[in-house]
Amino acid sequence: MGTDTCYHCGDNCVQDNIVYDQKNFCCQGCRTVYEIFSSNDLTYYYDLQAAAGASPKITECKYDFLSSEAITDKLVEFQDDDMQIISLYIPHIHCSSCIWILENLNKLHKSIFSSQVDFPKKRIRISYNWQTISLKELVLLLTRIGYEPNISLEDYDQKINKKEYTLIYQLGVAGFAFGNIMFLSFPEYFEVGEFWIEQYKPLFRWLMFFFSLPVVFYAARDYFISAYKGIRSNLLNLDVPIALGISVLFIRSSLEIIFDWGSGFFDSLAGLVFFLLLGKFFQQQTYSFLSFERDYKSYFPVAITRILNDGTEDTVPLHHIKKGDRLLIRNEELIPVDGLLLLGNAKIDYSFVSGESAPVYKEPGDKIYAGGKQLSGAFEMEALKSVPQSYLTRLWGNAIFQKDRTTSFRTLTDRIGKRFTIGVLTIAFTAALFWLFIDSGRLINVFTAVLIIACPCAIALAAPFTLGNMLRIFGHKKFYLKDSQTIERLARVNMAIFDKTGTITTTKKETVSYQGMDLTLAEESLLKNTLRASNHPLSRALYDLLAEHDIVTLDEYQEHIGHGIQGAKEDGQIKIGSATFVGNKSGLANQNTAVHISANDEYKGCFVFHNEYREGISNVFNSMQSNMELAILSGDNAGEKSNLEALVPLGTPLHFNQKPEDKLDFIATQQQKHKRVLMVGDGLNDAGALAQSDVGIAISENINVFSPACDAILDATKLPQLPSYILASKQAMKVIKLSFVLSLLYNVIGLFFAVTGQLEPVIAAILMPLSSISIVAFTTVATHIIGKKLS
Amino acid sequence: MSVIYVLLTISIVVAVVFFTAFIFSVKNGQYDDTYTPSVRMLFEDELVKAAPEPESKKLNQPKENNQ
C-alpha cells in the first residue's frame, strides 16, 4: 500500500497503483487520460498545473439520448450544413490547465474546429463538424478526458436569457454626458462677464441642454418608472424624491436658459444620475458560475430509455413520458417519475428527496418515487404518473416558488425614503410660504432649490455601496449571496433552523463503532480482504476504517446485490451484510446504518455507522443561541437523537422524519408567530423550506455541483464562521445608518443655501459630487474594517 | 474666435467616437468574460512534434456574439 498520489488527479493511489511511463496513477481511467494526452503531445497540461485532472467516470449508454435529433436540435446553438456550435457546462473547469486542454480539443479530434472556454461561467463553446463527429461522440470524448459536461433538463428547456446590458448602456450615456457637460459649464462658473463668454454663452448652454436630454429620458428612466409605481401603490420609496429632484433640475435648468436667467444645473443633473447609476451597478455582484434558481430540472436527465411493447428500446425526452410507459433505469441514474418496480432489484438513494442517508431496497411490485438514484445495476419500471405530477416535482407547484421575495421586503432605504420625502416637501413648502411674504420674486427659486439640493443622492448611494462591498467580502470568504437585499434580511433574522443530514453532518466521513464479540486475527484479515473486493459504499467506508492486513487472495467471493457479500479462505468463511443475510437472530433493532458480520455461520456482531458532525458545529449553536432561537429539522429517523442532543444547547427542539412539506409548514408556522427565520439546508428536500424562510442558506461541499434554489450558498468548510457572518451583516446595516446621518449633514448645509435663496450652480456642482464621493469613501473604509475582522 | 466652433465640433466628435466604441464593445460581449483571456495569453506555444498548429490563432480570433 503506497501512498503515492496520482499524476493525473492527485488522489491517493489506494486501491490500485498503476505505474505507467514512470508515473503513478490511481486508476485505469486516469492512466488512459494521460495516454491520450501524451500521445497527442498535450503533456503541457501537467506542466501548467500538477494533478489538475479528474478520473473519467464513463457510464456507457448514458448519452444515448444525444443520438436523437429532436433532442440535439434543442441543445445546439447553431447549425448549418457541416458545422454545429454547442455550449456546454463543465463543472470540473477550475484552473489554467483546464482552459488550455479544452481550448486545444482540435488536437484530439480533427473534426473539432475550435473551442473557447468561459472560465467564470465554467462553460465551453465548441464548433465542430457534425458530419464527422456527432454530438454524442463529442460528449463522450470530453467525458473520456475527465471533463464530463453536465447536460440537464434545464438546458433542454432553454429559456434564452438575454443578457442585460441596459444598465451598462445607461451608465455609459450618463458618464459621457456628465464629462462633456462639466467641461462645457466650466467657463460660466466664474461669471467674469467677459465679452468672449457673453458671445458664446448660448451655444454652450444649448449644447449642455442637448447632452442632458438622453440622461433624463434614457439613463434616469428607471427612477421615474419606479417612483410612478411607488406612488400608484401608495408607497413613498426613495425613488420619489430622486425622480422629483431630477425633473425639477431639468425643468428649472431648461427655463433658465430659455429665458436667459442663468446657466442652469445641467452639470449637477448629469453628475447625480451618473453617481446613482454607479451605485446601482456596483450593487450587482453576480457569481455567474453559481445558480441560485435551481430546481429539480437542473439535475434531472434530459431523456430516459423507454422499452416498447416489442422489446426494443428507444430514448424519449422526459416530458413525453406517459402513464403506463415501461422505463429502463440504469446504474447511477435518477428515477424521473413515480412508478412501480417491474424487474430487477433496486437499491435507491433518496437522500436528495428525504434527507435519509441510508439507501432503500425495493423489490418488484414496490412503489418507487421520482428523485431517487439507483445504486446497483439496472431495473425496469412502469410509470404511474407523468413528470410534473410526481411526488417530488409537485413540491415546485407550491405557491412559495412563484412568490418574488424582493417585492414584498421593504428595505431600510425604502423605509427612510418615506420620511425623507415628507420632510423635504415640508421644508420646501415652508420656505416657499416664508418667501411669499418677504420677496415673492424669489419664491420659485427657493422652492426648486430646496428640491434640487435635497435630492437624496448620497442616501441612495449608502446602501448599494455598503452592501455591494459586503457581497464581495463574503464572496472571498466563500459565502455567496444572491443579492444585496439578502444581507439586510440576514441582519434581521431571529430564528435559525438547521437540517441535519449533509448540513451539520459531513457527507464524506462517517464514524463507526463495533458492537459484539471480538474477532480473531484470522477473521479480521478475512473481513478486510473480503471488503476489498466490494464496491459497495459501506464496504468502502468500513474498509478504510479497519486496520491494515496483508493482502491475500480469497478462495471464494460472492456478492449478493442488496443483501451482502461473503468470502472464504482455507478454513474460514465470512458473511458481511444486512442482519437477515448474516442470520442475526438477536433481533437487535438499531435505527442507524449497520453492517452485520458472521463468521463460519456464527453471528459475531455489527459495525454501526454514525454521522460525523462537522467540526465546530456545537460552537456555532452556542454562539447563535444568545441572540436567536434554534431548531433542528431532519428527514432522517431518530437514530442520532442522543448524539445530537449532546451537541445542541439544552432545550433546542429536534424534529425527525420531516418530509419536505413538513419543513416548509414548520417554517410558515414560525413566521406567523413573527419569527424571521434563517434556514440552513443542503438538498432538494430542503428546497421548499429554503424558499419559505426569510433567508435560505444552502451548504455545499462542492459549490459547482448542486445546490437547491436559495438566497445564499455557503461552502461547507466555512460553516463554523456562520455566526460571524451574521454579525458582519448586522454591522453593515449600522454602517448604512451612519452614512444616512452623514448625508443628512450635507443636506442641512445645502438646505441653508437653498432656503436663504443663494444657491448658485457652482455650489450645487461642488456639493453634490463631494457628498456622494465622501459617502462612498466612508462605506468602503467601514466595510473593509468589517471584512478585516471577519478573517 | 469662430475657431471655437471647430474645436467644439472636433472634441464632441472624438467623444462620440469613443462612446460608440464603448457601446459596440459591450454589445459584442467583450465584457462578458474578463478572466479567461488573461490566462490564455500566458500559455506557451509548447513544443509540437506533430503538425504545427498556429497557437496564436485563438488569441486574435474575433469573438462571436453568442448571447
Which H, E and C letters describe A75-128, residue by residue? HCCEECCCEEEEEEECCCCCCHHHHHHHHCHHHCCCCEEEEEEECCCCEEEEEE
Q: How far apart are CA B47 and CA A43, in angstroms?
A: 10
Residue A44 and residue B46: Cβ atoms within 8 Å? Answer: yes
Structure-block grid coordinates of residue A740: 444616512
H-type alpha helices, A259-398: 266-283, 351-354, 391-394
Instruction: Report the greatest alpha carbon distance in chain B.
Output: 69
Residue A77 and residue B66: Cβ atoms within 8 Å? Answer: yes
Q: Exposed, middle or buried, A685 (CB in 10 Å: 0-12/13-18/19+)? A: buried
Residue A113 has pLDDT above 70, yes or no: yes
Check CB contact of A203 with chain B, cutoff 8 Å: yes
Q: Are A280 and A483 in contact (CB under 8 A)?
A: no
Residue of B nearest to A173 (CA): B19
DSSP states along B5-34: HHHHHHHHHHHHHHHHHHHHHHHTTTTT-S
Q: Are A576 and A528 in contact (CB under 8 A)?
A: no
- The confidence score (pLDDT) of residue A300 equals 74
Supply the mean pLDDT for chain A: 82
Beta-bridge partner residues of A680: A498, A697
Q: Are A730 and A491 in contact (CB under 8 A)?
A: yes
Selecting from A47, A125, A172 the residue whose C-beta is nearest the C-beta of B22 gives A172
Residue A479 has pLDDT above 70, yes or no: yes
CA atoms within 13 A on the CB side of A729: 22
Min Cα–Cα distance to chain B from A208, Å: 12
**Which of A76, A79, A108, A119 is the best mutation test for B, with the most CBs of B within 10 A?**
A119
Residue A163 has pLDDT above 70, yes or no: no
Lowest mean pLDDT among A123-127, A550-554, A632-636, B50-54: B50-54
Q: Are A293 and A305 in contact (CB under 8 A)?
A: no
Supply the mean pLDDT for chain B: 73
Q: How far apart are CA A683 and CA A639, in angstroms?
A: 20
Query: What is the average per-residue pLDDT within A455-468?
Result: 84
Check CB contact of B8 with chain A, cutoff 8 Å: yes
Check CB contact of B31 with chain A, cutoff 8 Å: yes
Selecting from B19, B39, B49 the residue whose C-beta is nearest the C-beta of A99 gives B39
Q: How confident is the model at residue A126 (pLDDT cuts 50, 70, 90)?
A: very high
Residue A590 has pLDDT above 60, yes or no: no
- The confidence score (pLDDT) of residue B67 equals 39
Structure-block grid coordinates of residue A761: 450652480
Check CB contact of B47 with chain A, cutoff 8 Å: yes
- The confidence score (pLDDT) of residue B50 equals 46
- The confidence score (pLDDT) of residue A214 equals 94
Residue A96 and residue B39: Cβ atoms within 8 Å? Answer: yes
Count Cβ atoms below 10 Å from residue A664 Cβ, excluding itself. 23
Structure-block grid coordinates of residue A104: 486545444
Min Cα–Cα distance to chain B from A89, Å: 15
Residue A447 has pLDDT above 80, yes or no: yes
Q: How far apart are CA A399 and CA A401, in angstroms?
A: 5
Q: Are A99 and A162 in contact (CB under 8 A)?
A: no
- The confidence score (pLDDT) of residue B47 equals 47
pLDDT digits (tens, 9 = 90+) for A560-584: 766 778 888 777 788 888 777 777 6
Count Cβ atoms below 10 Å from residue A744 Cβ, excluding itself. 18
Selecting from B8, B39, B48 the residue whose C-beta is nearest the C-beta of A119 gives B39
- The confidence score (pLDDT) of residue B58 equals 41
Residue A456 has pLDDT above 90, yes or no: no
Check CB contact of A40 with chain B, cutoff 8 Å: yes
Residue A384 has pLDDT above 80, yes or no: yes
- Percent of chain A at pLDDT above 90? 12
Q: How confident is the model at residue A309 (pLDDT cuts 50, 70, 90)?
A: confident
Residue B35 and residue A119: Cβ atoms within 8 Å? Answer: yes
pLDDT digits (tens, 9 = 90+) for A594-622: 778 888 878 888 887 777 788 888 888 88
Residue A165 has pLDDT above 60, yes or no: yes
Residue A429 has pLDDT above 80, yes or no: yes
Could you give the 3-state DSSP secondary structure of residue A725? helix
H or E element, residue A679: strand A677-681
Give A-chain residues touching B39 at CB under 8 angstroms: 96, 99, 119
- The confidence score (pLDDT) of residue A192 equals 67
- Percent of chain A at pLDDT above 70? 88
Instruction: Report the greatest alpha carbon distance in chain A.
Output: 117
- The confidence score (pLDDT) of residue A604 equals 81
Q: Are A578 and A564 in contact (CB under 8 A)?
A: yes
Structure-block grid coordinates of residue A156: 433542454
Residue A100 and residue B67: Cβ atoms within 8 Å? Answer: no
Residue A2 has pLDDT above 50, yes or no: no
Could you give the 3-state DSSP secondary structure of residue A237? coil
Amino acid, single-letter form, for residue A485 = Q
Residue B58 and residue A103: Cβ atoms within 8 Å? Answer: yes
Q: How far apart are CA A265 and CA A272, in angstroms?
A: 11
Q: Which of residues 142-181 of A touch B (CB under 8 A)?
A: 162-163, 165, 168-169, 172-173, 176, 179-180
CA distances from A131 to A69, A87, A320 (A): 13, 18, 28
Give A-chain residues touching B36 at CB under 8 angstroms: 99, 116-120
Q: Exposed, middle or buried, A273 (CB in 10 Å: 0-12/13-18/19+)? A: buried
Q: How confident is the model at residue A354 (pLDDT cuts 50, 70, 90)?
A: low
Q: Are A417 and A236 in contact (CB under 8 A)?
A: yes
Lowest mean pLDDT among A251-265, A356-370, B18-32, B53-67: B53-67
Global model pTM greater than 0.75: yes
Query: What is the average per-residue pLDDT within A63-70?
Result: 79
Query: What is the average per-residue pLDDT within A505-528?
Result: 76
Selecting from A40, A180, A196 the residue whose C-beta is nearest the C-beta of B15 gives A180
pLDDT digits (tens, 9 = 90+) for A526-559: 888 887 777 666 777 777 777 666 677 777 887 7
Residue A188 has pLDDT above 90, yes or no: no
Q: How far apart are CA A546 and CA A529, in angstroms?
A: 11
- The confidence score (pLDDT) of residue B61 equals 42
Residue A515 has pLDDT above 80, yes or no: no
Q: How far apart are CA A107 and CA A141, in angstroms?
A: 12
pLDDT digits (tens, 9 = 90+) for A717-758: 888 899 999 999 999 999 999 998 888 888 888 888 888 877
The more confident residue out of A134 and A162 is A134
Residue B65 has pLDDT above 60, yes or no: no
Query: What is the average per-residue pLDDT within A759-773?
Result: 80
Q: How far apart are CA A305 and CA A380, in angstroms?
A: 10
Check CB contact of B59 with chain A, cutoff 8 Å: no
